[in-house]
Amino acid sequence: MIKSDKKQLEQTALRIRLGIIRAISSNHGGHIGGSLDLAEMLAVVYSDFMRVDPKNPRLENRDFMIFSKGHAGPALYAALAEKGYFPAERLENLNKMNNLLPGHCDRNKVPGVDATTGSLGQGLSIACGIALSAKATNRDQRVFCVTGDGESAEGQIWEAAQFAAHYKLDNLVAFLDWNKMQIDGSNDEVMSLGDPVAKYQAFGWNACKVVGSDVLAIQEAVARAVEAPNRKPNMIVLDTIKGQGSQSIMEMSNNHCIGFPADLEQKVKQELKEQGEKLGVEVK
């Protein structure tokens, strides 16, 4: 498999961030922090590993992407638009009355979305079921799943972790967005997660931690997971900063779900424009 180089992946991540901002600004607010910090992961997975056909979103033998943290729908929508599932203009319909882009992931309304999610804790179980089905029917399919660290306080996450190890779901590659913040404050204040790598290893998973802004580290970790299956599910902990990619958003004490006034929008766009000048990406 020919993989993208660092610059290509960083360019794609920037375009995904621009798509996230386009969606959230159209609704004058939304779940911005935990969407922005997933841009690099989405750039890597959709560029180099997802076996999908945007012209046929329900292709039977496709790979699956399950967003267990469904409130980060703007990130997935931006990645799908970048991949060509629908025109980028559709991003301007986030949470509008026509429901072309619901605030949380919706498989019945958005091409390329594989599971309707938003009730936290459930997506990893959905991913396990799809992965087990693929194993049982001898289909060569990968299932990718994105979970949150606040979400990891849900007991169902750990039931799914035990299930995946028991059934040796090595076609499952999960990501934990470890940004250490949730809606009510820091994880340590609300519900400490401890060492997520050690936890998943104790449950019988392959688990590693990578810097969530390092596209090559993410690429290497995913490649290890998909190219050398060893009868264990895979967890890649993304060590991120909530709001990653925008200094203005990262500096907020709580950027989980915010209003997005015009002055803040302009500050963020200026930051992304400066990044675009370095990467050769036009930012309007």
What's the CA gap between 15 and 7, in Å, rounded? Answer: 12
* pLDDT interval class at 1 (50, 70, 90): low
In tens, the pLDDT along 267-279 reads 999 999 999 999 9
- Counted domains in the chain: 1
- Angle of helix 6-26 versus helix 215-227 axis, rounded to 10: 100
Asked if residue 1 belongs to a domain, the reply is: no
Asked if residue 126 belongs to a domain, the reply is: yes
In tens, the pLDDT along 102-143 reads 999 999 999 999 999 999 999 999 999 999 999 999 999 999
Asked if residue 171 belongs to a domain, the reply is: yes
Write the CATH number for 151: 3.40.50.970
Domain housing 170: 6-279
Contact 257, 32 (CB under 8 A): yes
pTM greater than 0.95? yes
Asked if residue 161 belongs to a domain, the reply is: yes
What's the CA gap between 65 and 158, in Å, rounded? Answer: 19
Asked if residue 284 belongs to a domain, the reply is: no
Model pLDDT, residue 140: 95
Express as a percent the part of the chain with pLDDT over 90: 94
Model pLDDT, residue 100: 83
Asked if residue 201 belongs to a domain, the reply is: yes
In tens, the pLDDT along 9-45 reads 999 999 999 999 999 999 999 999 999 999 999 999 9
